[in-house]
Amino acid sequence: MFEQLGLIGCGLMGGSFALAMKRAGLVKRVVGYSKSPSTTERARAMGVIDVEAPSALLAVSGADIVLLAVPVAATEATLKAIKHLVTKDMLIMDVGSTKRDVIDAGRRVLRDHIGSFVPCHPITGKEVSGVEHADPDLYAGRQIILTPIDRTNPAHVQKAVTLWERLGCNVLKMAPDAHDAAFAAVSHLPHLVAFALINGITAQDAGKEFLALAGPGFRDFTRIAASDSKMWRDIMLANRHELLEQSKIFRNTLEAMEAMIESGDGEALENLIEQASQARAHWRMASNVKK
């Protein structure tokens, strides 16, 4: 389907994409670039990429498909670095967790070539980062959200849909603002709460002893608190308005439950817990191939 993938950012998401594309026979050659030369070298040694590029621009040279798999705040600089080699026929995609800021960067930099850019967000991942965790199965059975804009070339959108479906993904299209509002609630806020929860415990004198006693519920609730700090700093700042809105809703809900506990209103408290319990029991992950 494709001759050459130019991969910019040979980490968890980019490396997993390259492995999945190769295994599916969807690309002949992968040319990769990461900011740190040792990462690019490791990606080559692991067989994630075939050729190391010394710059983002050279990774794009000769590519018919390009994947940006860098922190969202690095999108604009990356697009600036490659813009001279972007063509109308080239499919450019990203995997960024936020879409409004990424698209704004695309519009500013790519201008007449913005049609080549199909913004994507895979709803899969791990709390660990780096190419050493790249996994060809990461995308299979998962949801991919595409947020094309009015200027995105429909032929490129169709190519992207076909490609992700060939990797076993379920593709959904959304408006960028609706995407950012939804993921503030179901991804960015949960990460914020998990980070805050751990910090709140470790800041206490007895925090270490408390942590040593914790069980599976705590493990499940806090797994994502081990995620990459720079990546999450970028996501939270890029989607700050939506995230702060969701955080306010969360605090109000928390305060309401605190008030019931304080006043000993067991009936009201039970009702709210039952409401949450029912909602969670009936929730299923959007693409339900993997659990």
Ligand X SMILES: O=C(O)C(=O)Cc1ccc(O)cc1
Ligand Y SMILES: NC(=O)C1=CN([C@@H]2O[C@H](COP(=O)(O)OP(=O)(O)OC[C@H]3O[C@@H](n4cnc5c(N)ncnc54)[C@H](O)[C@@H]3O)[C@@H](O)[C@H]2O)C=CC1
Footprint of ligand X (CB under 6 A): 97, 123, 125-127, 187, 224
Interface with ligand Y (CB under 6 A): 8-14, 34-36, 39, 56, 69-72, 74, 77-78, 95-97, 122, 125-126, 129-130, 228, 231, 235
Question: Given the complex with ligand Y, which of 6 and 96 has the nearer CB atom?
Answer: 96
List, in sequence order, every residue forming a beta bridge with 172; answer none if it has no partner.
Answer: 145
| Residue 10: contacted member of ligand X, ligand Y, none (CB under 5 to 8 Å, by partner type) | ligand Y
State the nearest-atom distance from the C-beta of 276 to ligand Y, in Å: 25
- Number of neighbouring beta carbons within 10 Å of residue 284: 7
Nearer to ligand Y, 74 or 260 (CB): 74
Supply the minimum distance, in Å, between the C-beta of residue 4 and ligand X: 27
Which residue carries 């969360």 as its tokens? 250
Is 131 within 8 Å of 92 (Cβ atoms)?
no
Helix-helix angle 229-238:100-110, to 10 degrees = 80
Is the Cα dihedral 282, 98, 197, 127 positive or negative? positive
Residue type, position 11, single letter = G
Collapsed DSSP state (helix, strand, coil) of residue 283: coil
Cβ proximity to ligand Y: between 156 and 188 the closer is: 188
Rounded distance between C-alpha atoms, residue 30 and residue 11, angstroms: 14
Nearer of residues 116 and 239 to ligand Y, judged by Cβ:
239
Cβ–Cβ under 8 Å, residues 254 and 196? no
Q: How far is the CB of 97 from ligand Y (least distance, A)?
A: 3
CB of 199 to ligand Y, least distance (A): 20
36 binds, among ligand X, ligand Y, none (CB under 5 to 8 A by kind): ligand Y
